[in-house]
Amino acid sequence: MKTCQDGVHLPKCTDIPVVGTAKIKNPIKFGRFVDEDDAVLVKITRKNVAKTAKNKKTPKHVYFEPAGPRDKIYYDSSKTKCAVVTCGGLCPGLNDVIRAVVMTAFHEYKVPSVLGIQFGLAGFIPEHGYDVIEMTPDFVSRIHEFGGTVLGSSRGPQDPEAIVDALERMNVSILFMIGGDGTMRAAAAVVKEITKRGLSISVVGLPKTIDNDINFASPSFGFDTAVETAAIAIKGAHVEATGAPGGIGMVKVMGRDAGYIAAQSALSCQEVNFVLIPESPFDIQGENGFLAALEKRMKSSGNAVIVVAEGAGQELVAASETTDASGNKALSDISTLLKEEIKQYFAGKDMPISLKYIDPSYIIRSVPANANDRIYCSFLGINAVHAGMTGRTGLVISRWNGRYVHIPMETVTLGKKRISTRSNYWRAVLESTGQPISMQNE
């Protein structure tokens, strides 16, 4: 965008591509448009500022472009057709995003049609035979009171060419794609295909991950609700653990690559003794291993609550599969492995235990968003429409340093956010649980 170019005094702003020049006056009534100087500094600690100040070659500061309505838009809103698709696993807040997109498109821009693509990217492929839904304000009016997605979802990629064929066939001008990093990569491929064909179709991404592991989203939508819901299961595990001699409550939560739900819900409960996350490898056996630490806890307190992220200890799961080649079924996930190991260990020690296992994953994914996430999702949806109407494409809407911003699509898929085990955040988890700093033998 022009307004984002580096001037004499103005530092650099990350670029967002456009499908064409925005020349049409924005029709929204309430007439205050984004001041491009509201661009938000990406890195805000002194260390970073000092570093960039020294390095003369790189731009002094990098900013994210502010989200919000512009005074000029690209699409003639009275003729614009939008489409929304939700992809991947469920996550609280999907319906809120959908609702906000539809409401903003209809009420602010008087867009005549917002299509709902059913069951994810598969919905673009005619062979699947899924109908497209004409979403009206009336249709979406109360969907935010329900969990899940009113459009349905599905996993897996589809051919970008087939998707763009469908967009052309349906005459869609702006496509809103809500999904995880796989979906964002698919979105990038769709943008590429659109560019190749020279079409004027914008693609705006709304990154979704219940695991909260998206780069440059703090946190991802639905995460707060997920933590609140996980806490219910953890409370149950605590009650069960203290309710029986040798009581151990184990809760598995989502978190394939990052343990945010496990860590955050443990912090919110104050009743967890072990949090096992992908970022902090551990041994099961050995004098510093998990079982030894658990035994110590059981001896001192008589009970324990363990929260394990599904992606924790994957190397242990892999090892168990290898070693377990004697014909038995290999343990396919960390919670099953832990349950087996715990039972064997305490049986070997002749210490009776009572292990209760809770997997609340599908409950967590499917609850309606809480107030906080409802508002967050609304702003994501609102800002997605504002961005799309200007002709911007290949971007995602996010909140960074407390402000809604535009981020180039590839930026969020470059890597994943992880918990630093050296951070004050993880320290607080260790303090709250009392678990050892490390459960590795060496």
User: Which residues are part of the catalytic machinery?
Assistant: 211
DSSP string over 239-261: HHHHTSTTEEEEEEE--SS--HH
Please give the Cα distance from 53 to 64 (Å, whole number): 18
Residues 244-273 touching its own copies, rule: CB under 8 A, are 244-245, 247, 249, 264-265, 267-268, 270
Q: What's the gap between Cα 168 and its chain centre?
A: 29
Candidates 175-183, 276-284, 388-396, 400-408: pick the segment binding its own copies (CB under 8 A).
Answer: 400-408
Please give the Cα distance from 134 to 381 (Å, whole number): 17
Q: What is the DSSP letter of 22?
A: -
CB of 196 to its own copies, least distance (A): 30
Give the one residue of 35, 134, 168, 315 binding its own copies; rule: CB under 8 A.
Answer: 35
CB of 111 to its own copies, least distance (A): 14
Give the one residue of 27, 37, 76, 319 binding its own copies; rule: CB under 8 A.
Answer: 37
* Count of residues touching its own copies (by CB under 8 A): 103
Taking alpha carbons only, the member of 111, 103, 127 closest to residue 172 is 111
CB of 4 to its own copies, least distance (A): 9
Residue 180 binding its own copies, by CB under 8 A: no
Give the one residue of 181, 211, 213, 224 binding its own copies; rule: CB under 8 A.
Answer: 224
Residues 40-79 touching its own copies, rule: CB under 8 A, are 40-41, 44-47, 49-50, 53-54, 61, 63, 66, 68-69
Going by C-beta distance under 8 Å and a sequence separation of 6 or more, which residues neighbour residue 193? 160, 161, 163, 164
Residues 306-335 touching its own copies, rule: CB under 8 A, are 329
Reading the block at residue 390, the tokens are: 């200007």
Please give the Cα distance from 258 to 420 (Å, whole number): 10
Candidates 6-14, 16-24, 192-200, 315-323: pick the segment binding its own copies (CB under 8 A).
Answer: 6-14
Q: Which is nearer to its own copies, 45 or 323 (CB)?
A: 45
The total of other beta-carbon atoms located within 10 Å of residue 344's CB is 11
Residue 154 binding its own copies, by CB under 8 A: yes
Element (H, E) at 178: strand 174-179
Residue 173 binding its own copies, by CB under 8 A: no
Peptide bond into 69 cis (omega under 30): no
Residues 192-211 touching its own copies, rule: CB under 8 A, are none
Residues 439, 46: contact at Cβ < 8 Å? no
Reading the block at residue 373, the tokens are: 């996430």
Residue 433 binding its own copies, by CB under 8 A: no
CB of 429 to its own copies, least distance (A): 10
CB of 404 to its own copies, least distance (A): 8
Q: Which is nearer to its own copies, 66 or 278 (CB)?
A: 66
Q: Which is nearer to its own copies, 13 or 201 (CB)?
A: 13
Residues 103-142 touching its own copies, rule: CB under 8 A, are 103-104, 107-108, 119, 122, 128, 130, 142
250, β-bridge pairs: 306, 357
CB of 338 to its own copies, least distance (A): 16
Please give the Cα distance from 382 to 105 (Å, whole number): 8
Please give the Cα distance from 86 to 117 (Å, whole number): 8
Please give the Cα distance from 271 to 306 (Å, whole number): 9
CB of 426 to its own copies, least distance (A): 9
Reading the block at residue 263, the tokens are: 């860590």
Q: Which is nearer to its own copies, 40 or 292 (CB)?
A: 40
CB of 362 to its own copies, least distance (A): 5
Please give the Cα distance from 241 to 239 (Å, whole number): 5
Residue 168 binding its own copies, by CB under 8 A: no
Please give the Cα distance from 195 to 199 (Å, whole number): 6
Q: Which is nearer to its own copies, 372 or 411 (CB)?
A: 372
Q: Which residue has the tokens 């490390």?
A: 438
Element (H, E) at 237: helix 223-242
